[in-house]
């Protein structure tokens, strides 16, 4: 068995979720190689090479691979695919964008968003917003897989000494051009890897009221999230959305404030260790998954919580 | 410009799905079905392009059992011009769906295919990217804004870090995200009119595509349910529990 993992990186940093995907690969077994594509002049390749259990790191230093343009990354992945039994990526927006394009080129059916490795060919993945778990076996010659980071522990970032080898660029497919990004520059921890997440829903009434949650987040070292309703209403931007079609989080503590607990929201947070719900409706479905429920008006409870945290 | 919109028939998003006792899948008998919500957004976008004068024809395609014709009728009632039904089993993999759609694209020659970002039953998030790959077309995925000018499309993508703007060559595949638009409801007169709109039906065999599944479903099971929690009386009690019982703060 030999596995290639497409690494996510941003601003010259390897994305932490890569470590979780490496753990999934370790459970499959065999040699693990990483591919870092884009601007690799910084520390990304070095960081990748020092991860425990990594065999080799391939770099493809060409700006056409920046920003995960699938049209350009697919031929690059394809140029090395023949050596591998498994090609994996984290189920991030980059992985979700690129991997199906590669799978189709190789004429194989992708296995999306796995949460468990049973053996090298058999995996578990959630379907129907996590209301059912499907175990599937693949007999494809190359398994193309995306991995749900929160379902696997992070691999050890240190102790490895992989060789770094640069790959020939496969060139610009000429189909797509990156223009610009609008990214939030929050000092808070990243949502999917934060140990504590505090999310607001439609009950927050207004984007300005999210500052109440931000104050608590800053006291707890937490990330801020939101329901779809809060994003649709424009209280916060899309990268805050937790759920079936947003981000999946599984922190030690998840606080849901003014969120009813629709299945599509639960799909993104119900694997959190401890769930707290603050909602004025004592019948809100969120209380069915909450370890600690507080029936209260959030406009009283949240400022009080901030004070209580000192 | 012709716009093709693949629409999937799935269990309605409000229904609580139940796993079958024999663990072979989820219960589909007597369950309310509906158009995949992302596909409603795709149909809406196609109609808006037509209303704005940049599209001439909107064609809805659905792959699945005979009942999928109802889903196509829904798209027609929203305003699509014509439908194509491809008879296939309910559980069909994205790879096979993309292969069937490729044949339809080659027959119909649309300049744009608007696909849902994800079907809410299999949660695969693959079909649009696979179709773009097979056609060698550009793809704009998870799109929350779309602007078409000549032979290019400017798309805004919802990515993990925020928003990303890219430009893609046409013809293209665009997969739509939640914030692209709010789909319209079909009016009663339009539902009546939709019954007379053309709907073509063919089979996967007619299209010469092998749709045999590549993955074997070993079993489908319910996730573990969380143990019931408690209600706390006030904020002090909550903080006390989090500090001393759960020890998470
Ligand atoms: C295809 C599809 C995909 C979706 N994907 C997602 C997804 O990824 N993530 C997601 O979150 N949703 C998703 N949804 C939407 C989901 O179905 C719900 O509509 C959404 O989660 C509701 O958000 P909410 O709980 O904030 O709002 P609501 O359901 O309106 O709930 C608001 C809650 O706030 C409480 N409240 C109001 N005022 C106060 C107050 N002053 N104090 C205390 N409590 C108060 C109310 O009692 C209520 O329970 C999706 C839906 C579809 C169809
Ligand atoms: N059986 C089908 N019939 C028509 N369109 C489909 C079908 N399956 C998938 N699609 C399209 O592909 C999108 C993504 O589906 P998936 O890759 O399964 O998550 C859906 O939103 C539809 O637009």
Per-residue model confidence (pLDDT) at position A66: 86
Contact A148, A19 (CB under 8 A): no
Q: Ligand 2 centroid to B209 CA: how many Å?
A: 17
Per-residue model confidence (pLDDT) at position A34: 98
Q: How confident is the model at residue A310 (pLDDT cuts 50, 70, 90)?
A: confident
Residue A193 DSSP code: G
Asked if B169's CB is within 8 angstroms of A134's CB, the reply is: no
Per-residue model confidence (pLDDT) at position A42: 73
Q: How far apart are CA B107 and CA B172, in angstroms?
A: 16
Per-residue model confidence (pLDDT) at position A141: 95
Which ligand 1 atom sits nearest the alpha carbon of residue A284?
Answer: 49
Per-residue model confidence (pLDDT) at position A175: 98
Contact B123, A127 (CB under 8 A): yes
Asked if A270's CB is within 8 angstroms of B226's CB, the reply is: yes
Whether pLDDT at B228 is above 90: no
% of chain A beyond a pLDDT of 90: 95
Best residue in A9, A11, A110, A265 for a mutation probing chain B (most B CBs within 10 Å): A110
Which ligand 1 atom sits nearest the alpha carbon of residue A258?
Answer: 34
**Average pLDDT for A195-220:** 98
Whether pLDDT at A82 is above 80: yes
Q: Ligand 2 centroid to A128 CA: how many Å?
A: 14
Plot region of A104 (φ>0 → left; ψ -120 to 50 → alpha; else → beta): alpha
Query: Would you call B242 an interface residue with chain A, using a CB distance cutoff of 8 Å?
Result: yes
Asked if A105's CB is within 8 angstroms of B95's CB, the reply is: no
Q: Ligand 2 centroid to A305 CA: how many Å?
A: 44
Summarised one tens digit per residue, pLDDT across range B149-186 is 889 999 999 999 999 999 999 999 999 999 999 999 99
**Average pLDDT for A267-272:** 96
Q: How confident is the model at residue A43 (pLDDT cuts 50, 70, 90)?
A: confident
Check whether the bond before B87 is cis (ω within 30° of 0): no
Residues 1-60 of B with CB under 8 A from A: 11, 13, 16-17, 19, 26, 38
Which ligand 2 atom sits nearest the alpha carbon of residue B42?
Answer: 23
What is the number of CB-based contacts under 8 A between chain A and chain B?
259
Query: Would you call B231 an interface residue with chain A, using a CB distance cutoff of 8 Å?
Result: yes
Summarised one tens digit per residue, pLDDT across range A97-144 is 999 999 999 999 999 999 999 999 999 999 999 999 999 999 999 999
Q: What is the pTM of this model?
A: 0.97
Distance from the Cα of A97 to chain B's closest Cα (Å) equals 7
Q: Ligand 2 centroid to B177 CA: how many Å?
A: 13
**Average pLDDT for A231-257:** 97
Ligand 1 within 6 A of A199 CB? no
Contact B61, B26 (CB under 8 A): no
Distance from the Cα of A123 to chain B's closest Cα (Å) equals 10
Asked if B169's CB is within 8 angstroms of A132's CB, the reply is: no
Summarised one tens digit per residue, pLDDT across range B14-68 is 999 999 999 999 999 999 999 999 999 999 999 999 999 999 999 999 999 999 9
Whether pLDDT at B227 is above 90: no
Per-residue model confidence (pLDDT) at position B192: 96
Q: How far apart are CA A256 and CA A240, in angstroms?
A: 13
Ligand 2 within 6 A of B69 CB? no
Length of chain B: 249
Per-residue model confidence (pLDDT) at position A185: 78
Residue A266 DSSP code: H
Whether pLDDT at B195 is above 90: yes
Per-residue model confidence (pLDDT) at position A127: 98
Ligand 2 within 6 A of B45 CB? no
What one-character-per-residue DSSP string does A21-32 give?
Answer: HHHHHHHH-SEE
In this prediction the ipTM stands at: 0.97
Please tell me which residue of chain B has the smallest CA distance to A270. B226
Nearest to A110 among B126, B168, B236 (CB): B126
Contact B177, B158 (CB under 8 A): yes
Distance from the Cα of B74 to chain A's closest Cα (Å) equals 22
Whether pLDDT at A89 is above 80: yes
Round the average pLDDT of chain A to a whole number and report it.
96
Q: In what order do the strands lie in the sheet with A132-138?
A: A116-119, A122-127, A132-138, B215-221
Whether pLDDT at B188 is above 90: yes
Per-residue model confidence (pLDDT) at position A76: 98
What one-character-per-residue DSSP string does chain B give?
Answer: -EEEEE--EEE-TTS---B-TTSSSB--TT--EEE-HHHHHHHHHHHHHHHTTS-SEEEEEEEESTTHHHHHHHHHHHT-SEEEEEE--SS--HHHHHHHHHHHHHHH--SEEEEES--TTT----HHHHHHHHHT-EEEEEEEEEEEETTEEEEEEEETTEEEEEEEESSEEEEE-GGG--PPPPPHHHHHHHTTS-EEEEETTTTT-----SEEEEEEEPPPPPPP-EEESSHHHHHHIIIIIS---
Q: E strands along A188-261, which residues?
A: 196-200, 223-226, 253-257
Q: How confident is the model at residue A309 (pLDDT cuts 50, 70, 90)?
A: very high
Summarised one tens digit per residue, pLDDT across range A290-302 is 999 999 999 999 9
What one-character-per-residue DSSP string does B98-126 give?
Answer: HHHHHHHHHHH--SEEEEES--TTT----
* Per-residue tokens: A71: 């049209």
* Per-residue tokens: A99: 């991997």
Whether pLDDT at A184 is above 90: no
């Amino acid at each position: 068995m030999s596995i290639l993992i497409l690494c996510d990186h941003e601003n010259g940093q390897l994305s932490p979720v890569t470590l979780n995907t490496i753990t999934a690969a370790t459970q499959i077994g065999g040699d693990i190689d990483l591919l870092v594509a884009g601007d690799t002049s910084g520390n990304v390749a070095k960081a990748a090479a020092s991860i425990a259990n990594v065999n080799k790191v391939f770099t493809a230093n060409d700006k056409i691979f920046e920003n995960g343009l699938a049209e350009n990354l697919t031929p690059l992945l394809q140029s090395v695919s023949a050596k591998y039994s498994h090609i994996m990526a984290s189920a991030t927006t980059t992985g979700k964008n690129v991997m199906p394009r590669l799978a189709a080129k190789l004429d194989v059916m992708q296995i999306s968003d796995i949460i468990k490795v049973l053996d090298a060919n058999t995996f578990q993945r959630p379907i129907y917003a996590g209301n059912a778990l499907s175990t599937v076996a693949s007999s494809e010659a190359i398994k193309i897989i995306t991995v749900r980071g929160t379902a696997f522990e992070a691999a050890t970032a240190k102790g490895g000494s992989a060789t770094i080898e640069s790959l020939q660029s496969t060139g610009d497919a000429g189909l797509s051009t990156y223009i610009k990004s609008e990214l939030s520059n929050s000092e808070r921890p990243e949502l999917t890897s934060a140990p504590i997440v505090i999310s607001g829903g439609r009950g927050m009434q207004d984007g300005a009221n999210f500052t109440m949650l931000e104050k608590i987040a800053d006291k707890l070292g937490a990330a801020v999230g939101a329901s779809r309703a809060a994003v649709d209403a424009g209280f916060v931007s899309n990268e805050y959305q937790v759920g079936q079609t947003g981000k999946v989080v599984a922190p030690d503590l998840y606080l849901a404030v003014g969120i009813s607990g629709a299945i599509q929201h639960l799909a993104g947070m119900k694997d959190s260790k401890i769930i707290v719900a603050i909602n004025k409706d004592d019948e809100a479905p969120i209380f069915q998954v909450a370890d600690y429920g507080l029936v209260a008006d959030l406009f009283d409870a949240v400022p009080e919580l901030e004070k209580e945290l000192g | 410009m012709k716009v093709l919109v693949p629409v999937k028939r799935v269990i309605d998003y409000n229904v609580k799905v139940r796993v079958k006792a024999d663990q072979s899948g989820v219960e589909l008998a007597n369950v309310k079905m509906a158009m995949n919500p992302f596909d409603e957004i795709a149909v809406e976008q196609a109609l808006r392009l037509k209303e704005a004068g940049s599209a001439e024809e909107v064609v809805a395609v659905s792959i699945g059992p005979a009942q999928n014709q109802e889903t196509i009728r829904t798209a027609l009632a929203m305003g699509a011009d014509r439908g194509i039904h491809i008879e296939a089993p309910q559980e069909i993999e994205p790879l096979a769906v993309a292969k069937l759609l490729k044949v339809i694209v080659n027959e119909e020659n649309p300049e744009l295919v608007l696909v849902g970002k994800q079907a809410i039953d299999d949660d695969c998030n693959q079909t649009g990217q696979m179709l773009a790959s097979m056609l060698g077309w550009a793809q704009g995925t998870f799109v929350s804004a779309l602007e078409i000018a000549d032979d290019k499309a400017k798309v805004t993508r919802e990515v993990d870090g925020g928003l990303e703007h890219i430009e893609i060559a046409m013809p293209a595949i665009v997969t739509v995200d939640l914030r692209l638009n709010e789909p319209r409801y079909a009016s009663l007169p339009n539902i009546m009119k939709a019954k007379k709109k053309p709907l073509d039906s063919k089979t996967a065999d007619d299209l010469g595509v092998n749709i045999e599944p590549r993955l074997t479903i070993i079993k489908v099971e319910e996730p573990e349910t969380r143990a019931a929690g408690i209600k706390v009386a006030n904020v002090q009690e909550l903080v006390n529990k989090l500090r001393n019982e759960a020890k998470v703060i």
